[in-house]
């Protein structure tokens, strides 16, 4: 076994063991890498124009992001709390409207009459303490993961060359150029995917807000913000964002429900046929069926975090396969076969190579 084959085999075995033993740690590290790519992309122009060091530029970008988010939260907390209160007040009326609407369908009404809510309430009450403890534990765990992701992103973005050298040291010398090529391709895929995701978030949020506002659906700014944030997760996010909009439309007028859902459908069609082709040169082109399958697999394996990260993981995986196997192996083999064929056709030209 050659040194290059041995180093590659050891890396693949180590990666497989980590996927089996600590999958959540890998996902947290991947989320940190995504955030680091975004920070580094924002810090790049600052480094070029000011001559500031990369680490200081990343720190400046992080401070500016925190300030902008803080000012945004401070400016929107009052109207947002009013929107949430209005949502809480409107939800019961929306549920009553839903019940009245469903009363026109006898078979659904029969199922509702057989439903005994007191049993559900009793069962939930018996498990309330355990559910509360699980909720608190999950919240604390989520906050700890967020802090860890932010710290990882800051370290990775501040000095990426350190980690590139560490990755190169794991490869045999003859594999290092190809390994760096694959690593650069993966970074480019992440940058492209992140750009496309941010464009989709702004596009969906603004258009859905305007569409629901034009229909007179209550809480259209809040619903637009929800749609923008959930569009980070393709397909599944759009379905999740449409549910509260349908509920709000139902509370005002049941006839608005198909129109509100139509807004989401039209925006999704515009995103797929207008926005996506515009940014496709900079983003990874993910096949829809493969993306849905990866979301299903990642959701089964790693829960919500897996669903959220399924798209960038698929983008990186496709890029790595293309850069490492298709380009570096198959194309090189085709070139070698072409040279051999030319050498056999012109044996005196000196271009033949040994088999």
In tens, the pLDDT along 119-161 reads 544 554 555 556 556 666 667 777 888 899 999 999 999 888 8
Q: How many domains does the chain have?
A: 1
C-alpha–C-alpha distance, residues 223 and 208, integer Å: 8
The predicted structure's pLDDT at residue 130: 61
In tens, the pLDDT along 219-239 reads 788 888 888 888 877 777 888
Cβ atoms within 10 Å of 53's Cβ, excluding its own = 13
H helix and E strand count, the chain: 14, 0
Whether 329 has a pLDDT exceeding 90, the answer reads no
| Domain that includes residue 206, residue range | 3-342
Is residue 354 in a domain? no
Q: Residue 354: pLDDT band by 50, 70, 90 thresholds?
A: very low
Among 195-199, 263-267, 285-289, whose mean pLDDT is lowest?
A: 285-289
Is residue 351 in a domain? no
CA dist list (Å): 235 to 42, 129, 308:
28, 35, 11
C-alpha–C-alpha distance, residues 351 and 54, integer Å: 47
Q: Residue 257 has which token pair?
A: 């429900």
Q: Residue 52: pLDDT band by 50, 70, 90 thresholds?
A: confident
The three-state (H, E, C) secondary structure of 30-51, written as one string: HHHHHHHHHHHHHHHHHHHHHC
Q: Residue 352: pLDDT band by 50, 70, 90 thresholds?
A: very low
Q: Using only the alpha carbons of the chain, give its radius of gyration.
A: 26
Mean pLDDT value across residues 162-184? 86
C-alpha–C-alpha distance, residues 326 and 323, integer Å: 6
Mean pLDDT value across residues 190-219? 88
Q: Residue 217 has which token pair?
A: 């659906």
Is residue 176 in a domain? yes
Is residue 347 in a domain? no
Is residue 348 in a domain? no
Long-range pairs of 15-23 with CB within 8 A, sequence gap ≥ 24: 23/301, 23/302
Is residue 83 in a domain? yes
Mean pLDDT value across residues 277-295? 72
Is residue 10 in a domain? yes
The predicted structure's pLDDT at residue 282: 56
Long-range pairs of 144-152 with CB within 8 A, sequence gap ≥ 24: 145/28, 145/305, 148/28, 148/32, 149/28, 149/31, 149/32, 149/35, 150/32, 150/35, 151/32, 152/28, 152/29, 152/31, 152/32, 152/33, 152/35, 152/36
Output 96 or 51, whichever has higher pLDDT. Answer: 51
Whether 201 has a pLDDT exceeding 80, the answer reads yes
Any residues with CB less than 8 A from the CB of 4 and at least 6 apart, and which? Answer: 171, 172, 174, 175
CA dist list (Å): 264 to 292, 328, 341:
19, 42, 56
Is residue 349 in a domain? no
pTM of the predicted structure, to 2 decimals: 0.72
């Amino acid at each position: 076994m050659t040194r290059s084959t041995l180093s590659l085999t050891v890396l693949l075995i180590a990666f497989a063991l980590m996927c089996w033993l600590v999958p959540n740690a890998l996902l947290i590290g991947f989320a940190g890498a995504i955030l680091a790519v975004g920070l580094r992309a924002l810090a790049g122009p600052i480094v070029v124009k000011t001559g500031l060091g990369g680490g200081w530029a990343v720190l400046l970008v992080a401070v500016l992001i925190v300030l902008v988010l803080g000012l945004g939260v401070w400016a929107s907390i009052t109207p947002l709390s009013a929107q949430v209160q209005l949502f809480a007040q409107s939800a019961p009326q929306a549920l009553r409207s839903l019940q009245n609407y469903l009363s026109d369908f006898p078979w659904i009404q029969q199922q509702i009459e057989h439903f005994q809510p007191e049993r559900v309430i009793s069962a939930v009450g018996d498990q309330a303490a355990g559910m509360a403890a699980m909720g608190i534990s999950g919240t604390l765990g989520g906050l700890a993961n967020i802090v860890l992701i932010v710290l990882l992103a800051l370290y990775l973005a501040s000095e990426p060359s350190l980690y590139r050298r560490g990755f190169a040291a794991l490869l045999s010398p003859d594999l290092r150029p190809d390994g760096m090529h694959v690593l650069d391709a993966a970074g480019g895929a992440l940058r492209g995917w992140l750009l496309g995701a941010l464009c989709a978030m702004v596009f969906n949020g603004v258009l859905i807000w305007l569409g629901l506002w034009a229909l007179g659906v209550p809480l259209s700014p809040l619903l637009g913000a929800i749609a923008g944030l959930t569009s980070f997760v393709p397909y599944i996010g759009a379905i999740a964002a449409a549910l509260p909009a349908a509920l709000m439309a139902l509370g005002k007028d049941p006839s608005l429900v198909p129109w509100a859902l139509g807004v989401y459908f039209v925006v999704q069609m515009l995103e797929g046929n207008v926005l996506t082709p515009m940014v496709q040169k900079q983003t990874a082109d993910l096949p829809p069926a493969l993306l849905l399958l990866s979301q299903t697999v990642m959701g089964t394996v790693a829960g919500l975090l897996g669903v959220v990260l399924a798209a960038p993981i698929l983008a990186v995986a496709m890029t790595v396969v293309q850069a490492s196997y298709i380009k570096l192996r198959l194309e090189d083999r085709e070139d070698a076969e072409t040279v051999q064929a030319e050498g056999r056709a012109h044996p005196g030209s000196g271009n033949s190579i040994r088999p």
